Each structure stands twice: as C-alpha cells, then as structure tokens.
Amino acid sequence: MSGAIPGGAAPSDKKPGEYRLPTSAVPKHYDIVVKTDLESSPPSFSGESLTHIDITSDITTLTFNLHPTLSVTHLAISSSDLKTTSSLVLPLTALSVDKDQERGSVDLSSLPGGGLKAGMKGVKLWTRFEAELGGSMVGYYKSEGDLDEATGKKPIYALTQFEPTAARKAFPCWDEPLLKSTFAVSMISREKETVLNNMPEISSKPWKAPSNVSVENVMSEGYELGSLLGASGLTTKTEGKTEGKTEGKTEGKTEGKTEGKTEGKTEGKTEGKTATSSSSESWKITKFETTPLVSTYLVAYACGHFSSLHSEHKSKLSGKTVPLRIFATPDQIKQAQFGLDIKKWALPIYEEVFDIPYALPKLDTLVAHDFDAGAMENWGLITGRTTAYLFDPEKSSLAAKKRVATVQCHELAHMWFGDIVTMKWWDNLWLNEAFATLMGELVIPDRIWPEWKVRAEFLNSHLSAALSLDSQRSSHPIEVDCPDANQINQIFDSISYSKGASVLRMISAVVGEENFLKGVSIYLKKHLYGNAETKDLWDGVSEASGLDVAKIMANWTLKVGFPVITVDEIGDGKIKVTQNRFLSTGDVKPAEDETIWWVPLEVKTIGGGQSKVDHKAVLSERSMTYDVGKADAFKLNAETVGVYRVAYSPERLTKLGQEASSFTVEDRVGLVSDATTLARAGYSKTSGSLNLVKALGSTETEFLPWSQIATALSKLAGAWWEEPEEVRKAIDKLRIKLFRPLVDKLGYEHGPNDAPDVKELRELAVSTAAVAEDPEVLAELKKRFKPFLENNDDSQIPPDLQRSIYVNNARHGGLAEYEKMLKAYNKPPNPSTKVDAMYALCATRQDDLIDRTFKMLDDGSVKDQDMYIFAFGLASNVKTRHRIAEYFKDNFESLQKRFGDSYGISYLIKGAFNSLSSYDDLKKTKAFFEGKDVSKFKLVVSQAYDSIQASADWLSRDKKDVEQWLKENKYL
C-alpha cells in the first residue's frame, strides 16, 4: 500500500474513551440463563442475564457491549443505597445501540435521582434477549455434523466462540479482557441434549416455564432467572424489537421472535414464524458452578447430542483429582482418544514447570465440525476443529498426529498464560499467544515426544513464518496498538504467535531456560486471577536471571521488523558485524532503519575438531569488530536462536556449504534459510544461494535442512511460474536431481523402526519429486492409487504419502480420479483425509473439473471454515492461480458479508493473492482494493501487496542470474 506507515499497523488517533468502555460502571458478577432450541426454524436461543455492577462515578447512562444482532426484548434495573432499594422496569426506548461500536446504552433518567451515584454497589441490570443461532462461527452459533445415513439428516449443535469480541453477540456484557467477573451459568435444553460450560454441573432437573410470570417480578427475591424464557411466560407482549426501540411497555415478551442474525441459542417456541418445535420432548435446566474471575472472551457453553471419553489428572501440587473429558459427535468420538491422552500427559508437566496447579475443578474439550480458528482456550472447556483434535491411529498421518499434539498442548498452556493471568488489553495479545506457542509447540512436546525433535522443527514451523511476515514493510510490532474491535482480528497473525514465540525462545537462550521458566512462574504467581502486561513478564524473568530483560527486549517487542547482520572479513581473524533492518523488498529507507536491536551474536567457532559458542558476544550498536581468531570455520547465530538474518560474503557462504557437516541441524537450517531469503530480497545473488543448496544437497541427511531446501526451491518455482517453459522445466530438473536420490534410498513404505524424521524426509522427497514431475515417481503414485480408484483398496497408500498421492493423481488424471476425490471429500474416514481430498480437488488441470471445484465454493458444498483451504489449494495450481484471485474480486461483497466478523476473510485474501508475482498483478490488486472499506483487514491487504512486490522485484532482478546458473549447471 502506497504511503503505508512502516510496520503497517498505524498508531491509532483515537483516545481510549472512544474505543474502551467507560470506567464509571464495573461488572462484578453475571448470572446467565441460556435456552437453546436446536429444533426451531431457524435454530435459535434466548436468555436472561442479571449483571451485578459497582458504580465508580455518577452516571445518567449505563453503557456496555451489545451486538446489534442480539435482540434485547426487556430491561430492568435495581439499585440500592443505604436506605432504600428501588427496582424499575425500563421501556426499550431507554436502550439505544451503536452498531459501529457494538454498544448498548441505557438512559437512567427515569431512576430516582435521575441516575446512579458513585459508590453504589450491587446495582443489578436484568435483560432478556434472543437471537438466531447463526453459522458464522462467532458468538453462540450452530455447527452442523456429518450426514447421518440412517436419518438422512445432519445433526445440529451449538457452541460459543467469543474471542476476541463476540461475547456481546450472546449476552449483553462488558466485553473487555480487563473487566474480569465471576459467572454463574445455567442452561435450558431438551432432556436428551448434553450441555457444557467452563465449570462442572451442580444440578439438572426438569424445567417448565412458570405461568403468569410478569416482567415486573424479575427483581423480586423469589424470581428464578430464566422464568420468562417459556412459550407462554408473560401476560402481555411487546411489539417490535431490535436496537433498543419498541412500542408499548416492556412487560410481555416477543416469544422467541428473532429478527436479525446472531450466533447463540433461542427458545422453544417462535411465535409469528413457522418455527414451532416439532418435538414434544421435555426440557431441563442445568446449573453450573460459579467461575473464578474470568474475562468475557473465555466464557464458553455448548448444547447438543455429544458422546464423550473420560480420564483424570491427579495433581501433585493440590492433591486434587481433576476429571478430564473430551466431547464429540457420536460418529467421531472413537478418534478422540489421543486428544484426551495429551491432556493427561501434559498437565503434570505444566504444573511442574509453573509450580501452580491447574485452577479449575474439571477440564473438557469439545470437538466441533465448524470452527473459525484452529482451537480456543476457553477456561475449562477447550474447543476446536476436527483436524485439531481427532486422530485415527490406523489411517492418520504423522503430520496429523503432530497437529493434534501441538494444538492441545498450545491450548493447555493458555490455562495459565491467558486464562488465569490475562492481558490487560489486546495490544498485549502476544503475551497469550506467543507463550502458548513456545510452551505448547516446543517446551512441552519436547518433554513428551523427544523423538520429534521439536526444538529444531520450531525453526521451520515458527521462526521462518515470523521472519517472512516481519520482513514486509506492512508488518507490525509484537506489541501493536489496537484501537478498536474492528482491528483486533488482524493481529492474530505470525507476529503475535510466531515472532513472539521466537523472541521468547531467544531470551530463554540468553538467560537459560531454567531461569526463564522460573521467571515465568514468578510472573504468573504475582498476577493470579488478574491482568498483566509485557513489563510484568520481563520483571519476573529479570528477578530470576539478574538481567535487565526489559531493556534487552524493548526494541524486539516495541519496534517493527528485525535486523540482518552483515559480516565483513577485515583480516587477521577479525570480522566487522553491522546491523540494519531487513526488508523482503530490499529497499530499506533511512527512516525505516533507525532501530538498534540488542543482538545476541552467539558466535560459533570450530577448530581442532571442537566447536565452542561465545554466548557473551552482543551487538548493541550499529556495528562492532569481533575476533574469531584462527578458527577453521565460524558462524553467527549458533543453533539459530536469534531472531535475525546473517549475510556472509559469497566466498564465506561457499565455505560454509562445504563445512556444513561440522554444524548442527539447527545451524544448517539457519544457513539455508538466511542465504535463500537474502537472495530473494536482493542482498545477494540467487546463484549464490543455489550454490549453497547444491553443496548441502550432496551431503545432507536430515529432514529439517532438506525441508528448507525444498521450501527455497518451491518459492523459486512459484515466483518463476510464468517464465518460459524451458526455464520452469530446468528448475524442476534441479529439484529432481536433488530429491530423486532420496526417493531411491528411502522408498515409499515406512519401516517398522523408522524414526519420525525419516518418515517426514520420505514424504518430503516423494512429494517434491512428484511436484517437479519426475515420471517414475508419478508412475509409482499412480500405481498405488489404482486399487483405491477401482476397488476402494487403500492398502498401498501410506497415510504420510496420502496427500501427495491424492493431489498428483487428481492433477494428472481425469474425471474418474476427480470423482474418487469427491467421494473421499464427502465421506472421509478422518478429518485429515478430508483436507487431503480438498487439495486434490483443487489440483485438477481439466477446465470442466476446475469449473466444478469453483462451483463448490458457492453451492454449499464447502463449509465456511474450509474456504481458505480451497483458496490456498487453487492458488497452488498454476491453472487456477489467477482465477482464484478473480473469484475473490467478483465475490468480494458476499465474501465480506460472509466472513467479515471472523478470521476467514484474512485467510482468503492471503490465499487468493499472495502467490501472484508480477507487477501487472500488483497493479490490478491495488486497483481492486482502492476505495474499498478494508478497515477490518487492511494489514492483510498491505501484506498481499508486499508479497507480490517482493516476488516481482526478485524475478526482475535475478531472472538472468538464475538462467545463467541453470545453464552453467546443465539444467538448461
């Protein structure tokens, strides 16, 4: 985006009062009853809430968060002073709704004294509300299970997703993380439905709405909350609703009438619609224990027909036994055992590391068919999509197993980091997500599955993603200004998660992991059940380590970007190291290059057959000289712990390639990643990085460096995708030359004693050779697919090779292969197979079959949660790369409406545009978004521009250099 502020996330010109709720009223406790009607048409919910509020300054208006799709049908307020208690039913005309700010404001002028006075405690706001159970995967929403062939129907159930700002779609609330309260939730449901909440169930009993209840009674001592949620609970009706306007007085109710859309639940009967429930099944009310202090975005509940598996955790710290359960629809529960086991394995390690017991009396997980993100850390009731929690030991791949493991461990980390201690505001989101990423995807899995080598894998899975996004001009600092709800979704990205985790990994290496985790424990203990900010974490780590961590880390979290360290060899064993900001476009302006980072150089020297690392070498100024002595070899950023790139001379890079076997896997991963990325950005020639790849390829045996090589060559092929065919084929020849020997060595079948990384290397080698169209590899994949195609016999398709076999047979096959993939998509044996089939449906090269895949995007065949997978899949197919971008443009308004409140729109933009690589594409993309309201996803749009620009610049700059290298090495 032209004129983008460096960092992309522009500082807000709004004052806190414009986007934060007034501090004059503070909620302390919520009593909430929610009634879910999954059988009404449309499925809907209704509820009553009683919020206990303290008043800190005189007010004539009470303001809270309320989404315009949640219809408040009745209001009442009760206030007490030292002498009297007064209760007042308010007309709906007293309620106004600000659609943009998603706030409700109640005019209190009709109260005695014209308002509420400072110092009042125990003010109670009662509301009755209702809405449709929508399908947008935010708020309280409906999810649709797989088709039940016995009934011919898809089961429907309801669950919540409130992070970051969707609790207001389910009940009126003070929807900010700092405003922690306690919650007592009750749920009204049909007798045979299972209901879940953050807390354990206290009681469940039959429920029938009392007759002749009036809204005038709601503040009386004997009133039972929820009594007005029946079909005939009121003596009079209110005409109209929505946005605080109604005619007549507010006794009565709108009998489940739901105008507008929301994700939540509704009641048993909807008058005025053809929506009466067909079932005569009786209702029940289930009450749950009161929560500890918790932020609204972590409140959760669900209702439906679920099956469950059970285990338990015996805490050594508290001596208590914590029930562990996992819930899923009955057809999927058998694949949930591994997800349950992880909780049992990981919780004791978390308690040991933090020296704090798990805080709630139980811990559930609910597996959902429709889920916007991957998973959600609701305290005591973790939720997530099927691919995040289901694993079939017979048919699922190692990658699927690792995903379940890391997602579950990530969400468990949040039970401490995020749930019991919560950030004060969304500008410190990284405190939640970076730490859960570090703990859940590195520290804890390394202790449970050391054979997975997750410490090295972290470089590929997180450091690379972090440096990739943060090298764009449109990136943002880890601590990013977050002015309002419209911008919060945008920062759930690789900066908050992966860069944040990488920075924490770096400071952990500097102070030592033991000191780091001790500091984390100190931090958590000081802020239990409260809120915190970055400084509080640094204080804890400083106390444990004796270092001024806040000073060391300031620019890493407060400034955008990261440095490239240029190494100049000046003779006599001395090197000069200089830091400058790195950009993927290679065009850093002086104003963008003012930050000086505290850089742990971690200089590794090798001599006399021994290696040593100088942990004390730090670059905290623009440049300095360092003496490497008479070492045979040296390398900066040992073990690749630092969040930066290193640029060596071409001669040194060649030497490092020749000496690669002397360095660790982490070092080799870093070498390849730095060299290839610097070449793409124009800091060096691509031919130099290709020389390194060629040298490493002759000796490398480990999966992770090979994975970096494959990624680098994939990016080269991706940027060069519109170049002449002979050039593209020459790049493919290079890939085959490197990876085919691995295929020949490793074969296609796993041995009984193969280590996990050997299995991963086998899959990588086969899939890379296949995408480069090695004829023998393609023939083998076709042969293995044939029994499956003809007889449904998949015995020759190893789970780890399944995606490659599916995709390549669809790519090089025709109608029969496509139809087979469609069947696998519609009725998969496990969630990861469904995803593999999605990519296969996107891979076809036949125009009529491509048309069928695009038709699926609009005819209801693709769940909203899976649209982004199709976008990425179609972008990876050169036949459909431009078409998916055009599809997005043609359907922009409907997609914006469909995904505007979720993370989905950001994923779709990345999928549709980030694979484009020409200046013409950049021009057209900018022209399309020009003048459109992109406020909810402007960062992602800017990042798409930067991505296309970087590819186009690389191609323009190094086209001839790459051709020359390919010719010299006889590929062209």
Active-site positions?
411
For residue 260, the cross-strand partners are none
The answer to whether the CB of 527 falls within 8 A of the CB of 537 is: no
For the CA atoms of 551, 554, 555, 558, the dihedral, rounded to the nearest 10 degrees, stands at -160
Q: Which residues have CB under 8 Å from 461's CB, separation 6+?
A: 441, 498
Task: Phi first, then psi: give them for residue 901, nearest 5 degrees.
Answer: -95, 0
SS3 at position 181: strand
Tokens of 17: 């009062």
Burial class (CB in 10 A: 0-12, 13-18, 19+), 726: exposed
The span from the CA of 775 to the CA of 652, in Å, is 37
Q: At residue 781, what is the residue type?
A: L
Task: Phi first, then psi: give them for residue 544, nearest 5 degrees.
Answer: -80, -30
The span from the CA of 376 to the CA of 166, in Å, is 13
Q: Which helix (H) or strand (E) holds 499?
A: none
Q: Which residues have CB under 8 Å from 253's CB, separation 6+?
A: 73, 74, 128, 215, 228, 233, 234, 237, 238
Burial class (CB in 10 A: 0-12, 13-18, 19+), 805: buried
Would strands 363-368 and 381-385 be described as parallel, antiparallel, or unpaired? parallel
Q: Which residues have CB under 8 Å from 538's CB, separation 6+?
A: 549, 550, 553
Beta strands in 525-675 (DSSP E): 530-532, 563-571, 574-581, 599-600, 603-607, 610-614, 618-619, 623-627, 633-635, 645-647
CB atoms within 10 A of CB 69: 23
Task: Report how far apart, in Å, the C-alpha atoms of 666 and of each of 42, 511, 645, 854 are.
Answer: 54, 19, 14, 41
Q: Which residues have CB under 8 Å from 100's CB, separation 6+?
A: none
Q: Which residues have CB under 8 Å from 327's CB, separation 6+?
A: 194, 196, 302, 306, 307, 308, 333, 364, 365, 366, 367
* Residues 757-784: b if buried by 16+ CB within 10 A, e if exposed: bbbbbbbbbbbbbbbbbbeebbebbbeb
The span from the CA of 608 to the CA of 703, in Å, is 28
Tokens of 840: 């296969």
CB atoms within 10 A of CB 569: 15
DSSP 8-state code for residue 148: B
Alpha-helical runs (H) found in 549-685:
549-558, 650-658, 665-680
Tokens of 58: 């005189």
Q: Which helix (H) or strand (E) holds 405?
A: helix 398-414
Please spell the DSSP secondary structure of 201-224, one letter per residue.
Answer: EEEEEEE-PPTT--GGGTTSTTPP
Task: Phi first, then psi: give them for residue 467, nearest 5 degrees.
Answer: -70, -30
